[in-house]
Chain A
Amino acid sequence: METIQKKAAEDTSEMTLVHAAKKGDLDAFSELVKRYDRNVFRIAQHITHNEDDAQDVVQEAFLKAYQNLAQFQENSKFYTWLVRIAVNEALMKLRRHRTDRTVSIDEDVETEEGTMPREVADWGPNPEQLYGQSELSDILKKTIQGLPPGFRTVFVLRDVEGLSTEETAEMLGLSIPAVKSRLLRARLQLRDRLSKYFKSKRGGDGQP
């Protein structure tokens, strides 16, 4: 029963909460925070690679969303609007750590390089079982961190968070073809880099 009630509470329309929050109902806004804080944190961590920055991004994104709720036009989902704010905050954090301060969603995406796979060796049947959970997490983090921000952001929104191409385009202010092209290259580059760890091998010493 508890589960059913919980589910019913979660189904409370997002817009009902947004309308209440717009009128200054902090409990309603608190509900929106609880609904999306995990996602915003995950996205922020993927972009910034830094837990302190990710925590700041979560706080700043929700605070900005609250302060600017009146500007939210309601022609998209609240979550789409929120992630857009969070991605901008995360990119700003990343920029502050760079001396060249050039980080943008368009970085390193003008080249066609990286589209053709360099490594075509097949992987074993359950490659992730070659490693323990924490070692696997480290491999996955290290690998995705090596992608340019514009690629890993698209990959995280589409393939980790499960958002549609259209939603991702709206969140990042990109065209649909641009999202598709970045997603393809992000997927292929990740695959290429993971092959080093996952390809079938006879020795099994973990070295490529």
Chain B
Amino acid sequence: METSGGGELRRLALHDRHHALGARLMPFAGWEMPLQYAGILAEHEAVRTGVGVFDVSHLGRCRITGPGAGRYLRAVTTYNVEQMSPGTAHYSLYCNASGGIDDDVFVYRMASERWLVVHNAANALSDFQRVAAVAGAAATDVTAATVMLAVQGPLATGVLATVLGFDVGAMPQHACREIERDGRAVLVARTGYTGEDGAECILDSEEAWRLWDAVIAAGARPVGLGARDTLRLEAALPLHGHDIDASTNPYEAGLGWAVSLGDGVPFEGRDALLRLKAGPPARRLTHLATFERAVPRAGYTVIDPGSGTAVGTLTSGAFGPTVRRGIGMAYLPSGLSALGVRLEVQIRERAIPVEVVPRPFYHRSK
């Protein structure tokens, strides 16, 4: 595992907890992050069949408060966040003037005039500047002041109900609410990045160790970024910087549902998105799976066996531990993106057969 050197890495508030649990650490987006504890496959399995807890405090967190907060956010995000009910969360995008995706974000409307946006770690600084440019002093970066824990898996809401003392499982998907624990506010949201049931908690960084310890004591296994990646890939959730970026647009990425054009409110990228939406995308983010055990990885070439030509490059890929197939995503010409189309992925000297499959690769049983 090569580590990219240089620069001071930021440490998580719970760094000592991760160290004590035997975490193997890796640099990620300027942070020293747990890659794994017991092992990626065991952690992946724990989230699919039990409950795992992730420290995702590296994600940027920006609070926007006051009259006009919703309007400020609407000016920078693709989704019509102003129509969100207080106590709900929604996925959205920041787009550039060409309609490319500068970041994908989660917007939480805690109360009518109190909002929180969660940004990808690698984009946190520019994202905060984007929000602050319209919201001014109404925007506060609370990344350092808070910790974000994702508790995920079929047993997650049960563990959280025990630890937090209320029926987390009764909250609908994407609901969020603030509760009090140890005298401090905790934002609990029915969101996640694993394809499993669960919730995410954002709380004061000084008190966060209490929740971490309680969740672990209640049976959650600590899970690192390694399993976070295989879990999100099986759930076909895109990773910014890999599957989506400033050169890809929401429609070809299958994220048109996160773009609201009907309200007529201007926002960054809207003109380009209107043009892009006018016709079908020339290429689509396509989901591919192998028939045999194989490990397709980001950067591998996708080949059309009919013509023998390269038709795309994997943006993500892995052996899916739960689906037990090699899985990956690639932007392919729309004509090759239909379900069942047979293609190949070049893995070293071999062209491995793959087929286009529906997303997600993994669907949890309800």
**Bound pair: A and B?**
no
Interface residues of chain B, those whose CB is within 8 Å of chain A, are none
